Structure 1
Amino acid sequence: MTTLTTRQTSRWERFRDSYLLYSFKRDLIAQVSLLVFILLVGAALLAPWLAPMNPYDLAQINILASELPPFWVDGSDPMYLMGTDAQGRDLLSTILYGLRVSLIIGFGAVAMQATLGVCFGLLAGYLGGRVDAFLMRLADIQLSFSTLMVAIIVGALFKAIFGGATFSDYAVPLLVLIIGLAEWPQYARTVRASVLAEKGKEYVDAARVMGLPSRRIMFRHILPNTLSPIFVISTVQVANAIISEAALSFLGLGMPETQPSLGSLIKSGFDYLQSGSWWITLIPGLVLVVLVLVINLLGDWLRDVLNPRLYKG
């Protein structure tokens, strides 16, 4: 028990004295960004309890109350703080539920990208030769197509084969799959470069001399020393995945309007801008901008911290 307590105390002391925490305390932008990000994630997780209404419950939707403005605009209803959309749904509720969907897609897609990219990057960098050439040429081919192009092709094919109703039923996992498959080369090329720099070092040679299998050397010894760039890429890729989902939803190849996400909310209100119902698109759009902005700011801070040569204090 004493040993465990000492170990936990020493870990906390190392974290307390770490450069990561030291730089975070000195960076006001990073502190504010993290606070806003935590608030947004917390609001998304607690959507069923924070949202005034359930946008999935048809009994709570009043079509006669459609296109009501927010509370600070004349003609508003105090019952709907952010107004309502064209379907009569409470906009605040749809934003909270839509934020949760966008975050699930963003983190899910990045988890898939990282899994594929790290595995391929480790294999390419450590094994080299034909394996390296094949995987990197595959990555080059993948990079020649933009994320939206891959998503549009795969989404259109799926809708043509299985129908639009089936796509709507499995929209979230399909978008995770589509966006994840489109962006794995970013991880693969970064991890490969890190592995090439690590595999010639003495600790890797010592592991080989000890007779450890290649899989153990790659995942237990080399991979932990390549995590810094992976963390930095992940923050950027989460923001990119959320933007990709929004773009696909805006094009009609993402979340359907009956399943709110930030992208589908922006699309659903776009046709009503000229009629004066600007809040249906503008408010979800502002939430999307703030979410992507704080993620990118945290990514920039993390990049500077993990590479002290870039850190300007």
Structure 2
Amino acid sequence: MNASSSALPSRWERLRDSYLLYSFKRDIVAQISLVVFIGLVAVAVLAPWLSPMNPYDLAQIDILSSELPPFWIDGSDAQYLLGTDAQGRDMLSTILYGARVSLMIGFGAVALQALIGVCFGLLAGYLGGRIDAFLMRLADIQLSFSTLMVAIIVGALVKAIFGGETFSAYAVPLLILIIGLAEWPQYARTVRASVLAEKNKEYVDAARVMGLRSKRIMFRHILPNTLSPIFVISTVQIANAIISEAALSFLGLGMPETHPSLGSLIKAGFDYIQSGSWWITLIPGAVLIVLVLSINLLGDWLRDVMNPRLYKG
């Protein structure tokens, strides 16, 4: 028994010999995208230690140093590598903290989307009947509106009910809730399709014959076989959630300027472009583009790998 167990490959050996790692080693775009994404996540997480100053600390903000250009432009200050914004905050620090907030909202919103969508998709696909019809019609109704429209409507209602100050104080959890509720149908429809393909297979019939409850069959047996499309959707949805947060912040329904995200930083500097302070908007915008592009490229690669018929690596 021990000899046969020792002969089994370890998890590392299975990963090393897997098609996933093999295809990743052959795709330079995926490698660069992963390095860029991990790098941005790392500097965002370590923002309190890497930032030259704390943009939330009013004692460290000097209004007399507002709108200083980046270091490569005449008139810059060596203390502020990427210049300062209209409030005198260091742009490098606000971008690091802003990326942290945007990533937090992106991952949080996708986790909420997945939780709601996976549960609804499992129920609709496995139980069928009226439950399936109701949940899918609900998803169809929501999908008939654009995600941004749903987020704007919900965000405006929340802001009107609770007030602007309350919304600003709890902006992060509220944006996670708003964006999460706007995107769950993507998961629900995908999971439902996978469940319909799985529920009539022999291992599910065997679980029913053994007397296992429907809840156990759905979550312990069917769900693990639907994880591949969930992973692919999640990469794309993280990018979409970050863009949605940036759009809501730009429209005044997102993060306040006192607690910046990449979207609110872009909005804060938009009025200063014509005055020549272009870096206040363009540098956070470039960081947002690089972040979203790296996630989307990883999602494209993962989608192709999960469906080998599409992969041309």
Partner of 2:134: 134
Q: 2:116 and 2:263 mapped to 1: Cα distance?
A: 26
Q: Counterparts of 2:141 and 2:14 in 1: how far apart (Å)?
A: 44
How far apart are the structure 1 equivalents of 2:232 and 2:244?
Answer: 19
Cα distance in 2 for partners of 1:304, 1:95 equals 32
CA drift at 1:8: 9.2
Q: Which moved more, 1:207-216 or 1:155-164?
A: 155-164
User: Could you tell me how far apart the structure 2 residues matched to 1:274 and 1:137 are?
Assistant: 47
CA distance in 2, matches of 1:177, 1:277: 34
Distance 1:158 1:165 in 2: 12
Specify the SS of the correspondent of 1:174. Answer: helix
Q: Deviations over 1:124-152 (max 9, x none)?
A: 00000000000000101111222221221
Counterpart in the other structure of 2:65: 65
Q: Is 1:53 aligned with 2:53?
A: yes
Q: What root-mean-square deviation, in Å, do the aligned CA atoms of Structure 1 and Structure 2 show?
A: 1.3
Equivalent runs, 1:17-56 vs 2, <5 Å: 17-56=17-56
Partner residue in 2 for 1:106: 106
Say if 1:58 and 1:33 are closer, same or farther in 2 by CA, change over 3 A. Answer: same
Aligned ranges 1:146-295 → 2 under 5 Å: 146-295=146-295
CA distance in 2: counterparts of 1:306 and 1:228, whole angstroms:
7
Specify the code of the residue in structure 2 equivalent to 1:271: D
Q: What fraction of aligned residue pairs are identical, expressed as a percent?
A: 86
Which residues of structure 1 form unaligned runs of 5+? none
Residue 261 of structure 1, CA deviation: 0.3
Aligned residue for 2:309, secondary structure, equals helix
Tell me the SS of whatever aligns to 2:56.
coil
Q: Distance in 2 between matches of 1:148 and 1:228?
A: 27
CA drift of 1:10 comes to: 1.6
What is residue 117 of structure 1 aligned with on the other side?
117
SS in 2 for 1:308: coil
Q: Secondary structure at the match of 2:10?
A: helix
Q: In structure 1, what is the Cα distance between the partners aligned to 2:292 and 2:8?
A: 35
How many residues are aligned here?
A: 311
For 1:7 and 1:263, the matched residues in 2 are separated by 53
Gaps of 5+ in 2: none
Q: Which runs of 4+ in 1 moved over 2 A?
A: 5-9
Offset of residue 9 of structure 1: 5.6
Counterpart residue identity of residue 174, structure 1: L
> 2-side partners of 1:297 and 1:136: how far apart?
30
Cα displacement string for residues 249-296 of structure 1 (whole angstroms, at most 9, x for unaligned residues): 000000011111000000000000000000000000000000000000
Deviates more, 1:105-114 or 1:142-151: 142-151
